[in-house]
């Protein structure tokens, strides 16, 4: 009787692990997005508050889908800068408005 019970446990264990293996890898590891704000207008489309000589800052913007580890491209004059989203908080109203703490990174 214990052999049958062990066999059932092994089968259950195997099936539960098989479900994890067959789950698409793309769903397990979501790719971080790059949001290009370089063509948008500062002051009307977004506001960027530079801190520490622009190495970090707070960006207030509109749009859904911005999350930590995403990248945001901003333009200042002729120069483009890429920032990584360290933290992001969405406002309750409007629900697509957010503020994010950004850290400058090298452009890939």
Average of pLDDT values for 68-85?
A: 95
Average of pLDDT values for 76-93?
A: 94
pLDDT for the residue numbered 30 = 63
pLDDT for the residue numbered 45 = 92
- Reported as a single tens digit per residue, the pLDDT across 13-70 is 544 444 444 445 544 456 889 999 999 999 999 999 999 988 999 999 998 899 999 9
| Domain 31-105: which CATH number of 2.60.40.1930, 2.60.120.620, 3.80.10.10, 2.40.30.150 | 2.40.30.150
pLDDT for the residue numbered 64 = 87
Instruction: Give yes or no for residue 76 having a pLDDT over 80.
Output: yes
pLDDT for the residue numbered 29 = 54
What is the Rg, in whole angstroms, of the alpha carbon atoms belonging to the chain? 22
Distance CA 104, CA 63 (A): 21
pLDDT for the residue numbered 37 = 94
Average of pLDDT values for 70-92?
A: 95
pLDDT for the residue numbered 28 = 44
Nearest to 102 by CA among 65, 74, 64, 62: 74
* DSSP result, 27-64: HHSPPPPEEE-TTSPBTTTBEEEEEGGGTEEEEEEE-S
């Amino acid at each position: 009787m214990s052999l049958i019970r062990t066999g059932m446990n092994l089968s259950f264990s195997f099936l539960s692990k098989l479900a994890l293996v067959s789950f698409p890898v793309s769903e397990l590891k979501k790719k971080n997005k790059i949001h290009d704000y370089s063509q948008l207008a500062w002051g009307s489309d977004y506001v960027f508050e530079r801190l520490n000589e622009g190495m970090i800052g707070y960006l207030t913007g509109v749009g859904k889908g911005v999350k930590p580890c995403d990248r945001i491209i901003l333009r200042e004059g002729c120069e483009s800068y890429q920032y990584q989203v360290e933290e992001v908080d969405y406002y309750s109203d409007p629900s697509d408005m957010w503020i994010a703490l950004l850290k400058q990174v090298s452009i890939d």
